[in-house]
């Protein structure tokens, strides 16, 4: 699906307004999610967006596919040192202040830009690009609603095939196959340095309580010490709580969703904790209204858990391994703004999309949790984009 020209133009207009306010002459963008957002092509490109005027797409490869996919002028990129010349040939003035994505730009590329652009200043435009992308248009929300249609099919299939004796990896791979057949594209883009993420994960029993390298409340043992997160080769047992935490992607747009399933039965302790999880999620959803500060919502939810449940030390991890967030922005990347996290300063506005994920971890026993992708809209709180049943599923 091509991104409409009107959508691309509005995105560029919004960025140019920021460039003008900040007195930045232009932005040179290279990170895949950002270049796709402003150009509509995910080919290997640089895009230069001037303070005024039409963007210039410079493509390493593939030039022909980039020309087919973007609304902007495309030229071959034959070397970073040639970029100033390309701008001149396109009739664009050379910038005196040039914006770059400092949060993701390799230092080696930065040094090459310094050599190519003599006597100019470089500034970071990452923050306001990420904040712009945090608020989704109606067209983007429609794409996310399409993506959300995949997970219910995966969840229904999970109930058909779950049985004791499957390993976590086997169960996970069967569900990924189903997701791919239902439209999941297989890639999950993550912005954070050193971040890696699979389609999602199956965590069963005590394996779901292991902390690890990934900054999340439930990490899993993983397949090996080289990839120490996600599903393991452990065999799923009857009576264990099983966390299904999956990302699905359609047309580049991601949704994130978690549900709990078990074979035969599940402990009364975990079932009781799951009831609390559902209440926490609903309180969080209702609190996410335009004008609220993300960090204040986090504090409000943490206070409620501490004062009204016995699970404070089990919330979002266990003890000292707990994470300091209960929601993260999502869209073209898994780790977008805003985050519902300790100290977060972002003010929620209508159109922001967040994966909210309250979870409880009980060492030696298992974990329960829920995750849904929601969109901030109005005074009634955020609206669910993901629509699967939220109660634990017991397969018999």
pLDDT tens, residue by residue, 62-97:
999 999 999 999 999 999 999 999 999 999 999 999
pTM of the model: 0.96
DSSP state of 136: -
User: What pLDDT, in 10s, does the model give residues 3-15?
Assistant: 999 999 999 999 9
For the cut 90, the answer to whether the pLDDT of residue 310 exceeds it is yes
Alpha-carbon distance 329 to 338, whole Å? 5
Q: What's residue 319's pLDDT?
A: 85
Q: Is the pLDDT of residue 216 over 90?
A: no
212 — pLDDT class (breaks 50, 70, 90): confident
Helix/strand/coil percentages in the chain, nearest 5: 35, 25, 40
pLDDT at residue number 145: 98
Residue 349 confidence (pLDDT) above 90: yes
Q: Which is the CATH superfamily of the domain at 5-133?
A: Creatinase/prolidase N-terminal domain (3.40.350.10)
Looking at the predicted structure, is the pLDDT value of residue 371 above 90?
Answer: yes
Q: What pLDDT does residue 194 have?
A: 81
Q: Does residue 318 surpass a pLDDT of 90?
A: yes
* 373 Cβ neighbours under 8 A, 6+ residues apart: 144, 148, 255, 256, 257, 330, 353, 354, 355, 384, 385, 386
Listed in order, strand segments (DSSP E) in the chain are 26-29, 44-50, 56-61, 73-76, 97-100, 121-124, 200-204, 242-250, 253-263, 325-329, 336-341, 353-356, 359-362, 366-369, 372-378, 381-384, 393-395
- Domain 138-395 falls under CATH 3.90.230.10: yes
Mean pLDDT along residues 390-394:
97
Residue 197: pLDDT band by 50, 70, 90 thresholds? confident
In the chain, pLDDT over 90 holds for what percent of residues?
90
Q: Determine the average pLDDT of the residues in 247-270.
A: 97
Q: Is the pLDDT reported for residue 214 higher than 90?
A: no
Q: Which residue has the higher pLDDT, 228 or 24?
A: 24
What integer pLDDT is reported at residue 356 of this predicted model?
Answer: 98
- Is residue 219 scored above 90 in pLDDT? no
What pLDDT was estimated at residue 177? 97
Four-CA torsion 114, 115, 120, 125, nearest 10 degrees: -30
> pLDDT tens digit string along 19-68?
999 999 999 999 999 999 999 999 999 999 999 999 999 999 999 999 99
The average pLDDT across 124-146 equals 98
Question: Please, which pLDDT band fits residue 115 given cuts at 50, 70 and 90?
Answer: very high
Q: What is the C-alpha to C-alpha distance for residues 151 and 141, in angstroms, rounded to an integer?
A: 17
- Domain boundaries, given as residue ranges, for the chain: 5-133, 138-395
Give the C-alpha distances (Å, rounded to integers) separating 175 from 105, 244, 265, 327. 35, 10, 21, 24
Q: Would the pLDDT of 121 be above 90?
A: yes
| pLDDT tens-digit series, residues 280-291 | 999 999 999 999
| DSSP character string of 240-299 | --EEEEEEEEETTEEEEEEEEEEES---HHHHHHHHHHHHHHHHHHHH--TT-BHHHHHH
Average model confidence (pLDDT) across the chain: 96
Is the per-residue pLDDT at 199 higher than 90? no
């Amino acid at each position: 699906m091509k991104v409409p020209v009107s959508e691309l133009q509005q995105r560029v207009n919004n960025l140019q307004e920021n460039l003008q306010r900040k007195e930045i002459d232009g932005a040179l963008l290279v990170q895949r999610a950002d270049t796709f957002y402003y150009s509509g092509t995910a080919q290997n490109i640089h895009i230069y967006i001037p303070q005024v005027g039409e963007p210039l797409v410079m493509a390493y490869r593939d030039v022909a596919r980039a020309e087919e996919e973007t609304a902007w002028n495309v030229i071959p990129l034959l070397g970073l040192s040639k970029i100033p010349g390309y701008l001149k040939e396109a009739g664009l003035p050379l910038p005196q202040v040039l914006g770059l994505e400092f949060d993701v730009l390799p230092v080696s590329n930065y040094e090459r830009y310094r050599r190519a652009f003599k006597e100019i200043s470089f500034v970071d435009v990452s923050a306001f690009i990420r904040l712009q992308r945090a608020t989704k248009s109606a067209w983007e929300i429609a794409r996310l609603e399409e993506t959300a249609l995949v997970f219910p099919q995966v969840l229904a299939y999970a109930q058909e095939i779950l049985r004791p004796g499957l390993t976590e990896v086997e169960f996970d791979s069967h569900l990924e196959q189903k997701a791919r057949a239902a439209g999941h594209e297989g890639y999950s883009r993550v912005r954070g340095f050193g971040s890696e993420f699979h389609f999602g994960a199956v965590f069963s029993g005590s394996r779901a309580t292991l902390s690890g390298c990934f900054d999340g409340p439930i990490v899993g043992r993983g397949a090996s010490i080289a990839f120490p997160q996600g599903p393991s080769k452990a065999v799923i047992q009857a009576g264990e709580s099983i966390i299904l935490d999956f990302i699905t992607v359609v047309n580049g747009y991601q949704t994130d969703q978690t549900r709990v399933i078990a074979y035969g039965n599940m402990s009364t302790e975990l079932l009781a904790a799951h009831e609390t999880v559902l209440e926490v999620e609903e309180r969080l959803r209702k609190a996410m209204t335009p004008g609220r500060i993300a960090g204040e919502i986090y504090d409000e939810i943490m206070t409620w858990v501490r004062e009204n449940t016995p699970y404070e030390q089990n919330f979002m991890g266990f003890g000292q391994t707990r994470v300091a967030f209960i929601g993260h922005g999502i869209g073209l990347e898994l780790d977008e703004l805003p985050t519902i996290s300790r100290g977060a300063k972002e003010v929620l506005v209508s159109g922001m999309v967040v994966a909210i994920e309250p979870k409880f971890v009980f060492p030696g026993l298992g974990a329960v949790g829920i995750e849904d992708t929601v969109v901030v809209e109005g005074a009634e709180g955020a609206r669910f984009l993901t629509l699967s049943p939220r109660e634990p599923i017991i397969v018999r």
